[in-house]
């Protein structure tokens, strides 16, 4: 039994969906669960719609119509007029219609999940319909009835026992009858509200299903030949890893490598299920295999670059030492604000952290901290992480830059630059 995950880039247009069907057709003798992301940049567009709705701006309806038209244009290339998928998609968009007719809910994160989740619901309707059109018997599955989470909107925490029971109850029988197509990134609460698992969380969805079903492998289909040592959009001489250990993959995703969602690896490692990262345009190529006992010599360093970073420093208002009690309080406030720390450093009187800038979370964090701490920060910074530096690449990457924070360990260098 195999689990496939197709990201937004692989289904951004009609040609991509046709290619998806061709890839799936090569595995039609297998039991196959397919996890699909929202199409192209739909999640970004839905985030824009969410903000427009929350702020009640004049462009809200235009943004929404643009999102719908994008999907209808793709369907027009794939299906004859009157195909049932047109009604299925229209009925799915009704979930947004109902929400934006009312006054905005006080909880922005709740609004976000109810609106942004429609991207995956629509994309899977279209993919499922096309697979059947192409002669590949397929069944659409609403993931919200299978992956159960708490009520932490935008960062739903999976309730593993309930999720495992739901998946094992009916999915094996469904997979014996047909391909199953479901949504990445989404979960459901006990009150039947939608949650999301964190941005780019479709990989994580695939690993949850694989772990619960005891899959033979998970394959995530990407627009790159596999896991590379650096972003090919930023570096010309990248190399692909044929194999990586779970541990190395976890380190890379923790530091910000975007090819795999950070939460993806652990469920697979626990269940000893290999993860394959393969190019969707060249499915015959081997890609990268992440598994136990993988052997790799790092001939080139791993370079991870994160833009739009904030470096924030805290000190106590009475100039007392930063103690364990202070750190406990600070971490609690970061967790409450949903801000994830990328680098941290402490001294006698201050605590400095680097993290991704997200406007609403950053504002919430400042509100939570300002009553107890003095705050200084710089934004619009770059975080560079280098693992297994063999060529003195750190010096080249930092040349002409101002280093605001530096941290070195045996295998990893992290630098915050201006």
pLDDT in 10s for each residue of the chain, 418 residues: 999 999 999 999 999 999 999 999 999 899 999 999 999 999 999 999 999 999 999 999 999 999 999 999 999 999 999 999 999 999 999 999 999 999 998 899 999 999 999 999 999 999 999 999 999 999 999 999 999 999 999 999 999 999 999 999 999 999 999 999 999 999 999 999 999 998 888 999 999 999 999 999 999 999 999 999 999 989 988 999 999 999 999 888 888 887 888 899 999 999 999 999 999 999 999 999 999 888 777 888 999 999 999 999 999 998 899 999 999 999 999 999 999 999 999 999 999 999 999 998 999 999 999 999 999 999 999 999 999 987 778 988 999 999 999 999 888 999 999 9
CATH pick for 302-417 out of 3.10.310.30, 3.30.2130.10, 3.40.640.10, 3.40.630.10: 3.30.2130.10
Separation between Cα atoms, residue 340 and residue 334, nearest integer Å: 7
Tell me whether strands 186-188 and 217-222 are parallel, antiparallel or unpaired.
unpaired
Start-end of CATH 3.40.1160.10 domains in the chain: 2-290
Whether the full predicted model's pTM is greater than 0.75, yes or no, is yes
pLDDT at residue number 226: 94
Separation between Cα atoms, residue 42 and residue 119, nearest integer Å: 6
Q: Which CATH class is domain 2-290?
A: alpha beta
Start-end of CATH 3.30.2130.10 domains in the chain: 302-417
């Amino acid at each position: 039994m195999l689990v496939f995950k197709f990201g937004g880039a692989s289904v951004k247009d009609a040609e991509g969906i046709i290619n998806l069907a061709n890839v799936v057709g090569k595995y039609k003798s297998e039991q196959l669960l397919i996890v699909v992301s929202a199409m192209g940049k739909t999640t970004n567009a839905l985030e824009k719609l969410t903000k427009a709705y929350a702020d009640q701006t004049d462009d809200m309806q235009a943004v929404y119509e643009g999102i719908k038209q994008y999907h209808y244009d793709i369907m027009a290339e794939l299906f004859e007029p009157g195909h049932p998928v047109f009604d299925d998609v229209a009925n799915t968009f009704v979930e947004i219609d109902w929400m934006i007719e009312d006054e905005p809910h006080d909880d922005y994160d709740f609004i976000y999940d109810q609106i942004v989740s429609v991207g995956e619901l629509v994309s899977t309707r279209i993919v499922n319909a096309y697979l059947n059109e192409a002669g590949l018997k397929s069944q659409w599955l609403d993931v919200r009835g299978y992956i159960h989470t708490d009520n932490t909107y935008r960062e739903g925490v999976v309730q593993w026992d309930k999720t495992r029971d739901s998946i094992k109850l009916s999915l094996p029988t469904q997979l014996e009858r047909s391909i199953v197509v479901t949504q990445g990134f989404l979960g459901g609460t006990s009150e039947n509200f939608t949650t999301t698992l964190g941005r780019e969380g479709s990989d994580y969805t695939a690993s949850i299903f694989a772990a619960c079903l005891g899959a033979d492998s998970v394959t995530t289909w990407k627009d790159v030949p596999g896991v590379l040592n650096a972003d090919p959009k930023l570096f010309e001489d990248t190399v692909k890893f044929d194999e990586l250990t779970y541990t190395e993959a976890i380190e890379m995703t923790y530091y910000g490598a975007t090819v795999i969602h950070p939460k993806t690896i652990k469920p697979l490692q626990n269940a000893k299920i290999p993860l394959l990262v393969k190019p969707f345009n060249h499915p015959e190529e081997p890609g990268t295999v992440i598994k136990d006992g993988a052997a790799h010599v790092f001939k080139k360093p791993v370079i991870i670059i994160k833009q739009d970073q904030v470096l924030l420093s805290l000190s106590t208002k009475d100039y007392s030492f930063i103690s364990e009690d202070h750190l406990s309080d600070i971490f609690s406030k970061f967790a409450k604000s949903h801000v994830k720390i990328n680098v941290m450093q402490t001294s006698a009187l201050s605590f400095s952290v680097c993290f991704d800038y997200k406007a609403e979370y950053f504002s919430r964090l400042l509100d939570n901290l300002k009553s107890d701490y003095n705050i200084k920060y710089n934004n619009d910074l770059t975080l560079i992480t280098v693992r297994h530096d063999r060529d003195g690449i750190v010096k080249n990457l930092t040349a002409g830059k101002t280093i605001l924070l530096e941290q070195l360990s045996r295998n990893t260098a992290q630098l915050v630059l201006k």
